[in-house]
Amino acid sequence: MKPIRLLSVVLVLAAISFSADAQSSHALPRRPNIILIIANGLSADDLSCYGQTLFQTPNLDKLAADGIRFIHYSAGAPAGSPARAALMTGRDISIAANDVTLVPNDITIAELLKNSGYFTSLIGEWDLGSEGSSGAPWLKGFNEFAGYFTSADAADAYAQSIWRYECDPVHNDLQAYNGTEQVYANAGGQKVQYIPDWLTTLAMTFTKNHQPDQFNHNRPFFLMLSCPIPGNGNRAVPTDAPFSEEPWPQAEKNRAAMISRLDNNIGQLLQHLDKIGQATNTVIFFTSDTVPKKAGGIDPKFFHENTSSNSLLVPMIVSWPGKIPAGQVSDLDCSARDFLPTVAGIGLVTPPGKIDGVSFLPALFGRSQK
C-alpha cells in the first residue's frame, strides 16, 4: 500500500508516527478528538439527507451538510460482527462469518490510538469478543467500556444490567473495575430507562470528563458509541410518536420512531460538544454496521424503494468543522475496512503493515483519491 499523504491544512505531517507495539513518550502536535458513531441495521436511504422522503432526520442532515457524505460506502459484510471487525482492524473478514472474536494479532484502531496517547472508550455494543476471550474490549485498546458484548444482549432495550470496565486513571493498563453493574431504573423488569438513550447520556458524560485540557495535558479522546437502534425488527421503542397517526404498518411506525430517536440523540451529543467547547476539535464519523433485513415485520424497502435486496450500502458521514469543507458529496467506492487507515492518518499513527483498507482521508478534504 502506498504511504498515506496527509494534508498540511489539517496537521503538520512531518510528525513522528507510532506503532501499536508500545506507547511513545515523544511529543506530538495537538490532535483532534475522534468519535465513531455506529448505528445498527440502518440503510443510507433511511436518512433524509440520502433521499428518504417520508420523514426527516435533521441532525444527521446537518452533520452531513457540515462535512461530507459518502454515497458508495459499504458495510463490508452482511452480518454485524464481521462488519465491525473490518471497521476495527482494516481487514476484510469472511462474509460467511457471523460471529467474530478478535485474536491477539488483530490490531484495532483503538489500540493504535491508545498507544499514541489517546484516551479510548467504547460505549454500547461490541460483538467482537466476550469478557473471557482474546477479543475483550480492554484487550483491544479501550481504556473504558460500558456496554454489551453481543448483539443479543444489546437488543434488550430495557436491560437490567450493563458491563463496565474502567482502568486506573493513572496507570492505564491496570483495571479499577471489571464486571456487571445494575441499571437500577430497570430493576425487577421495570421499563423505565431506555438503554439507547442512556448510552448517549454516558457518551456525553465521557466527553465532558475526558475533554482535552490543561489538567490532562490536552490528551485527546477516541470514543466509539455503538447504538443498538434501529435494529432489524427486534428492538422495542418507548413510543411510535411522532408517527402514531401515519397510515403505515406498525413495524414501520416503530422503525421510523427509532430512527428519529437516534437522530435526536445525536443532536443532543452535538449540542453537548458545542457547549463544552469541543465541537471544532472533534472529528465525527457516523455509519451503520449492517443494512436493514426483513424481520420482525419490517420491510427494508418501505422507506427507500430503490434499495437493492443485496445492497450493503450504509451511510458514512464525516464532519470536522473548520477542517473538512462543508457540503461535500463523494461517490468514492469505500468500505468499513478503509476506516482504520483513515483515522490512523488523522491521529498521526502508522497503520499495521498487513491491512486491506486504504485511507479515504484525501476525499475528506476535497482532494482526488489515488
Instruction: Indicate the helix (H) or strand (E) that contains 364.
Output: helix 361-364
Which domains can be identified in the chain, with CATH numbers?
Answer: 33-364 (3.40.720.10)
**Phi, psi for 97 (deg, rounded to 5):** -75, 140
Given a cut of 80, whether residue 237 has pLDDT beyond it is yes
Strand pairing report for 328-330 and 73-74: unpaired
C-alpha distances in angstroms, 101 versus 130, 179, 193, 206? 8, 19, 30, 26
Neighbours of 286 (CB within 10 A): 27
Instruction: For Cα atoms 85, 41, 83, give the angle at the middle one, nearest 5 degrees.
Output: 15
- Cα 131 to chain centroid, rounded: 21
Given a cut of 80, whether residue 171 has pLDDT beyond it is no
C-alpha distances in angstroms, 109 versus 1, 151, 246, 247, 288? 17, 21, 42, 44, 17
Give me the count of residues in the chain.
Answer: 370
* The pLDDT value given to residue 234: 76
Strand pairing report for 328-330 and 175-182: unpaired
* The pLDDT value given to residue 25: 41
* The pLDDT value given to residue 169: 64
Residues forming a β-bridge with 122: 145, 224
What letters, b where the CB count within 10 A reaches 16 and e where it falls short, cover 316-329? bbbbbbebbeeebe
User: What integer is the mean pLDDT of 74-81?
Assistant: 88
* The pLDDT value given to residue 304: 74
> For the residues of 117-137, what is the DSSP string, one character each?
T-EEEEEEE--S--TTSTT-G
Q: Are the C-beta atoms of residues 81 and 99 closer than 8 Å to each other? A: yes
The DSSP code for 6 is P
Q: Convert the pLDDT of each residue in 266-289 to its tens digit.
A: 999 999 999 999 999 999 999 999
* The pLDDT value given to residue 309: 59
Amino acid at 196: P
The C-alpha cell that represents 86 in the structure block: 473490518
The DSSP code for 71 is S
User: Strands (DSSP E) along 149-234, which ranges?
Assistant: 161-167, 175-182, 221-230
* The pLDDT value given to residue 97: 67
Reported as a pLDDT band with limits 50, 70 and 90, residue 185 is: very high
Neighbours of 182 (CB within 10 A): 11
Reported as a pLDDT band with limits 50, 70 and 90, residue 183 is: very high
* The pLDDT value given to residue 173: 67
Q: Minimal CA–CA distance to 85: which of 105, 60, 68, 70?
A: 105
CA gap 109, 344 in Å, rounded:
7
C-alpha distances in angstroms, 215 versus 33, 202, 210, 219, 233? 16, 21, 10, 9, 45
Helix residue ranges, H only, 66-143: 80-89, 109-115
* The pLDDT value given to residue 94: 65
Reported as a pLDDT band with limits 50, 70 and 90, residue 155 is: very high
Mean of the per-residue pLDDT values of the chain: 88
The DSSP code for 308 is -
* The pLDDT value given to residue 307: 59
The C-alpha cell that represents 157 in the structure block: 432495550
CA gap 65, 357 in Å, rounded:
26
Reported as a pLDDT band with limits 50, 70 and 90, residue 242 is: very high
* The pLDDT value given to residue 174: 73
Range with the poorest average pLDDT among 78-82, 144-148, 300-304: 300-304
Who's near 134: CB < 8 A, 6+ residues apart?
A: 101, 102, 103, 104
